[in-house]
Homo-oligomer: A and B are copies of this chain.
Amino acid sequence: MLTFVGLGLFDEFDITLKGLREVKGADVVYLETYTSPLVGTNVERLEKLYEKSVHVLSREEVEGALAEKILMEALHKKVVLLSGGDPMVSTTHVGLRLRAHEMGVKTKIIHAPSIMSAVCGITGLQNYKFGRSATIPFPYEVDGKKVVYETPYDVVKENIQRGLHTLLYLDVGERMMTINEGVSLLFEIAEKKGDEEFCKLLGVGIARAGSDEAFAKASELAQLMEIEFPDPPHILVITGRLHFMEKDALIVFCDAQIT
């Protein structure tokens, strides 16, 4: 049996009682940190809580040929794979679960808190007012030329047209992208498209969701770029049409200077 157990938003106490029970009952516990890095905790603290050792997996061992090893093990052992947030939201996990089924390995998911729903609580923005979400990746190089991915900008514009909010995930690849970096990347695209109104959109920057230092600030994107947020993880919301209660919530919960 391969059980995907979510660690939730921030530290080792964001796992559910059900998740902890699975970990305690597992023959072997793996941890995958590259789809969502540990922030408020570390392997030692997890091991102390679980009273068993936690093996950190490389990307190769989850996605690559080496994944076979875990799956073979899961044929006759209770294997738990820990990951941040709610598991299986990442395609990486979907791929692994598909391979497990091909090999006749049973799978199970123990859900955990996810930023997807947490943003609603933190900001007071209503979940049915969110359009599709997108991720802002770090720029990459093609033939020595810097390329800034345009899809996040397009998704925001598409949602705005419909009066919808956009949840923007920030790249956690080589390092964790900040809100400031994310906004400035969007501005590069806006500038390229001659979109001078873009910087006036109302954004909400959220840092360290799920922790006691959780911080949310709403303002025009131009100002948001100047704000010093607590350390990442960061996430960005760009708002569409606001319901009056959403407006009140942004003023009260996110210090928005709107009327």
Contacts and interface: CB of A to CB of B under 8 A. Distances in A.
A13 B13 contact: no
**Is the interface on chain A under 10, 10 to 19, 20 to 34, or 35 or more residues?**
35 or more
Nearest to A94: B124
Interface in A120-147: 120-122, 124, 126-135
A20 B114 CA distance: 18
Given A116-B116, A245-B91, A121 B8 contact: no
A9 B98 contact: no
Interface string A215-256: 000000000000000000000000000000100110011000
A151 to B, nearest CB: 9
A2 to B, nearest CB: 13
Contacts of A93: 121
Contacts of A15: 16-17
Interface string A82-119: 00011111010111011001000000010111101110
14 contacts: A8-B111, A13-B16, A13-B18, A14-B111, A86-B118, A86-B121, A89-B127, A94-B126, A98-B248, A101-B252, A113-B113, A116-B117, A128-B132, A129-B132
